[in-house]
Chain A
Amino acid sequence: MKGGKVAAGIKSFFGSVGGVFKNFGTAVAKGDLFVKLSMLVMGAGYIRRKQIIKGILVTLLEAGVIAFTVLFAPQYVSKFGTLGTVVRESVFNMTTMKNEYNDYDNSFLILLMSLVSFVVWAAFLAFYIFNMISVYNLQKAAKEGKHINSFREDIQELLNKKFHITLLFLPVMGILLFTVVPLLVMILVAFTNYDQNHMPPGSLFTWTGLTNFINLFGGGGLTVTFGYAFVRVLAWTLVWAFFSTLTTYIGGILLSLLINNRKTKLPKMWRTLFIITIAVPQFVSLLLVKHFFADNGIFNSFCEAIGLTEALYNAGIISNMSIPFLTSPGWVHVMIILINIWVGVPYQMLIATGVLMNIPGEQLESARIDGATPRQIFRHITMPYMLFVTGPALVTDFVKNINNFNVIYLLTSTYVTTNQALANSQAKETDLLVTWLFTLTQDYYNYKMASAIGIVVFVICAVFTLVAFNRMIRGDREEMFR
């Protein structure tokens, strides 16, 4: 069933793409002289139908893209295959008496601008095809004697039937420039050797194929440590995501049940107290907690005062006279998950409270009339309802926790690993894939590996989300409330 649905979706997608090309073909074949002329001068068809301003605008756009293609794009796109060959050199210029640079290649700019060019061309191609179709439609409308919009009416259309174009234009441009293009750039970087030794503008980087992925998965000879670190980090990422999701989920439900119980006095006050803890920005609260549990921090003093430190020391569990809450593997892992309970439970409590309040009252009432005990009501009504509503959210929470940067980074940015193999690839025991990625880029400029890791993170998240979405009835329910 599910497979069928996805297949149908793909089929309809390609069906509509095919339809567009068919319409384009018809337009080219059956269009009159001006429609055919629109293949060269894109505004021709509009001007013929007296849509002069529109025709001029479209032609200007075409001219702009042509100018872009001739004057701007070639200097980058022509070098896309090699990502540049001329290394920057400083040459002493006798006439100006200064050191000047030669006309060097910047690999990153070549990559970026080539990509921008590709995006521009792809967008233009789509626009070109739709333009032909719309010019041909105009011809048909004119032949049938239908009304043809004036420029003014076209503008009004944009506030009415085509309002979605007006609404979506700027947001989509923003997403294109600040999400899509950067993502594509980084995906491409994963196939290059862009790192500290190949940093533009000082030096060049180039394509290396799948080398980074081979290193990451442990196939490379010298860089076998990367494979080692990757497995370790990936394992901890999944363990962390599993436990942090589960603990906060259960904790949140329990806390909300506790607060919404009839025995609770002043439920609003309790709820506010818990919300306050998450209203404080994480960079304040987590950095504070980090110092709270530091080796020479206040909690360690407390443990020493009550004799816990000594007891653990005598039992041989710790080797120093301080408990290494956030400084030794094992301890730190448990502590991170515990601290995350502190951070995450109030959030889940809020969500669970919302769900609890929405449980259909009639069900609870009829159960009560039938003589069900509170425990039975909880087991057979409250809990199943809760699971049904929040179950899919569990998976999205899991994905969010895979990418949970703040908790890990703020708590363990100063953590020093003693595992040399991990340290060789700039990882540490507490790193998630995303924090590892962040350290690699920020502190070590190892963009190639960071990009490869980013792609892996994406694949993992995509798999889990697909599972989640197949279990939910996606989208189909959106008309339900109308």
Chain B
Amino acid sequence: MMKKKTIQTILHNLLLAVLALIWLVPIVWLLVTSFSAYTGVNATSFFPDEWSLNNYKNLLFSADTVAQFPNWFKNTFLIACASCIVSSAFVLMVAYAMSCMRFKMRKPIMNVAIILNLFPGFLSMIAVYFILKSFNLTNNHWGLVLVYSASSGLGYLIAKGFLDTVPVSLREAAYIDGASEARVFWKVVMPMSRPIIVYTVISSFLAPWMDFVFAKMILNSGISSMWTVAIGLYNMLDRSLINTYFSQFCAGGVLVSIPISILFVIMQKFYVEGITGGAVKG
């Protein structure tokens, strides 16, 4: 009996191991190729024939006209910071208004938001592009920040779901003590919403790192020092460049993935915390 159970356990974990292996193959390939001495796509063997650190060295210290990784990283970082501040503020403001306040236009506004969310984002992007162009904001990082953050208020639903679980009695106590709504927002609700604030901040910080379409649309001048990491790396895989830059692409992929993965894992933790709301209830 005991033996059967042990075998089952081993088989069970073996199955998981096989699955994890399948899921990790591309990631491992990314990692090992980034250390390859051969610059193109190695189609004959999974592991590089010759190992080297050159890809990282070239990427970080000898930028050329194609690969300007330090510039891209800086651009993306600044764009991400700016749009993170604006969108987090917008999301939390809308979420608070929709969750904790009651006013006449609340339900209509929420319904309109649902309808607006149904349009594919690219549809409005074309017109946004022309609007930005007429204000001379294309090929400009501020234009990109606007694109990422201006409409962020529409993504308030997760934060609202969290604020809905903040006990109404806490706010009522504050009102009775004579606190104004703004004070309640700052001093009562926000301090209790740490999980969802962290989640909102990280997710809006990550959006510019993950996004590729909008950046490609707005920063289309072809000046590679202006680009973000996503377009820069995408461009490295151009047919004429791939044989010289594929391993550098992998190195760049590893370099952006590390901070992003860490943030992503933290965000997931806070997301679960925010959804289950363990810290607040009671």
Contact = CB atoms under 8 A, between A and B. Distances in A.
A168 interface: yes
Interface in A172-199: 172, 174-175, 177-183, 185-186, 189
B212 A283 contact: yes
Interface of B: 8-9, 12-13, 15-16, 19-20, 22-24, 26-27, 29-30, 41-46, 90, 93-94, 96-97, 101, 103-104, 106-110, 113-116, 118-128, 130-131, 134, 146-147, 149-154, 164-165, 167-168, 180-182, 185, 209-210, 212-213, 217, 230, 233-234, 237, 239, 246, 249-250, 253, 256-257, 260-261, 264-265, 268, 272, 275-276
A454 B120 contact: yes
A217 interface: no
B23 A346 contact: yes
A175 B26 contact: no
Given A273-B24, A283-B233, A475-B107, A180 B116 contact: yes
Given A174-B151, A181-B131, A462 B257 contact: no
A16 B104 contact: yes
Contacts of B213: 405-406, 409, 438
A181 B129 CA distance: 12
Interface stretch (A26-34, A88-96, A257-265, A419-427): A257-265
A482 B180 contact: no
B13 A297 contact: no
A207 interface: no
B43 to A, nearest CB: 5
Contacts of B24: 273, 276-277
B152 A350 contact: no
A414 to B, nearest CB: 8
Interface string A256-295: 0011010111000010111111111111110111011010
A256 to B, nearest CB: 12
B123 A457 contact: yes
A360 interface: no
B97 A458 contact: no
Nearest to A437: B122
Interface string A304-321: 000000000000000000
A454 B151 contact: no
Nearest to A350: B268
Given A175-B153, A438-B213, A442-B217, A399 B118 contact: yes
Interface of A: 13, 16, 108-109, 112, 156, 159-161, 163-164, 166-168, 170-172, 174-175, 177-183, 185-186, 189, 255, 258-259, 261, 263-265, 270, 272-285, 287-289, 291-292, 294, 296-298, 300-302, 342, 346, 350, 354, 357-358, 399, 403, 405-406, 409-410, 414, 434, 437-438, 441-442, 447, 450-451, 454, 457-458, 461-462, 465, 469, 475, 478, 481-482
Give 4 closest A-B pairs by Cβ, nearest first.
A171-B153, A182-B127, A454-B123, A279-B261
Contacts of B234: 283, 287
Contacts of A458: 118-120, 123
A112 B131 contact: yes
A421 B195 CA distance: 53
Contacts, number: 260
Contact of B180 (A160, A300, A409): A160
B30 A284 contact: yes
B27 A277 contact: yes
B173 to A, nearest CB: 14
B275 A160 contact: no
Contact of A272 (B12, B27, B265): B265
A13 B121 CA distance: 28
A161 B181 contact: yes
Contacts of A357: 276
B256 A183 contact: no
A355 B215 CA distance: 35
Contacts of A280: 27, 30, 253, 257, 260-261
B260 A281 contact: yes
B124 A264 contact: no
A167 B26 contact: no
Contact of B151 (A179, A185, A441): A179
10 contacts: A259-B16, A261-B12, A273-B23, A283-B212, A288-B253, A354-B275, A437-B123, A461-B119, A461-B120, A469-B114
A284 B181 contact: no
Contacts of A279: 257, 260-261, 264-265
B150 A298 contact: no
A181 B257 contact: no
A41 B47 CA distance: 78
Contact of A298 (B20, B42, B110, B180): B42
Contacts of B46: 298, 302
Contact of A270 (B16, B45, B104, B237): B16
